[in-house]
Chains A and B, each alone.
Chain A
C-alpha cells in the first residue's frame, strides 16, 4: 500500500465498476488500482452501497418458484464451489494482474515492439483491450494520441509526459485531446498496465505502419 498515489480514478469509472457495466479490460484496470489505493477502494465501495439501495428498491413482489428455498438449500448442501487460492500481491503485480499473467512479473510473455519497448497483451473479452508495457529507463514511447480513452497505470518505475510525472499506482487518463510522449525515468525501467477502448493514433508515419501488427 502506498499513500503516495497522486493520480486517481474518476467517479464515473468507479461507479461503472460498482455497477458492473465496464468492459473487462477496464474492470482489470480498476481492480488493479484498487489493490494499491484504499482511497479509491473506499470510493468504489461507497458506490456499491448505492447498488445496495438500487437492489432494495426492486419490486419485492416478483415471485420465486414455490420450491425455491428448498432448491437453494439443496444447492447449499452440494457444498461451496472450490475457490482458487488468492495470491498475495507481489512487489510489481497486484493480485488481479497475476491472475491474467498466470504468475509473477517473471512470467510475463513480452513481445518487442521497437526501441526496446515491449508489450504483452492480456486476454480480456469485449471491446476494450488491456496490455502490459515495458519501457526501458530513459526511453520515450512515440508521440501518439487516442481515438478513444486510454488509461495507463504505473506498476514499476515512473514515466513523465506533457501532463505530469506518474509513479507506481498513478493512473493517467488520456482521451482524444491528449497528444503525449511518455518517457520513462532514467533511473529505472518502467512497467505499466494500459487499457484502451479504441486503437491509438501515432503521429509519425513509421509507428502508424506498424500499428496493425502491434494491435495497439
Chain B
C-alpha cells in the first residue's frame, strides 16, 4: 500500500513539473506583455499593470489589416475544403467507377507529399496564373485536402444504407441524398476538421511568406515576423504583446472550447 501511494505521489509530481515547464513560456509572455518594459525580467508581485504594450504594438504595424487578411484566408480555405472534400468523399463512398482505387491512393499520397514542401514549383505556378500576392494564392494549394477527403470518406462510410434507400424511394437525387442524409450525420466530423483546419491555416507561415509581399494580403503570422524582425530597438514587451495578440483568437477559442478542441484533434487523428 505504501508503495502505491508513493508511486502516485511521484507521478503527480512529475506530471505537474512537466506541466509547469510547458506552461512557463506562455506565462512569461503574458507577464512581459502586461507589465512596463522595466519589469521584463524583474518579477515583483505588485509590479504595475499596463495595457500600453498592446496598444503600442497595435499602432506600430497594420495589425488590423493583417487580422482581416487571416480571417478572410481561413474562411476561404474552410469553405473551399468543405465543398470540395465533401463532393470528392461522397464520390468515393457512393459510386463505383473505373480508377477509384488508384485515384484514392493518389489522394492519400498528399498526406506524405504536402504542398508545404513544393514551394518552388507552386510559386512558379502562381506566377503563371498571375495570382502572386493574393489571398487566393495562399489558400488554393490547400483546398483539395487529402486529409479532409480521407476523413469525410471514413465518416460517410458509416452512414447506414437504409437511410439512403429511404431517401431515394422518396425520389431524392444523389446530391439531395448527400445534402439531406450524409452531411447532417457528419456534423461532428465537420466540426473536428474545421477546428483543425482553422488552427493550421491561421498558424501557417512559410507559404504565405513566399507568396505575399504587401500589407493588403499578408496574414498575421507573416506580419508578426516582419514586425519582430525589425531591429529598431523594439522592446521585448511590445513584441510579446504582439505575439500574444496574433495567437489571441486561437487561444481564446481554445480556452472556451477546450473539450471540443481536444476531442476534435482526437477524432481527426483516429484513422
A binds B: no
Residues in A lying within 8 Å of B, measured CB to CB: none
Residues in B lying within 8 Å of A, measured CB to CB: none
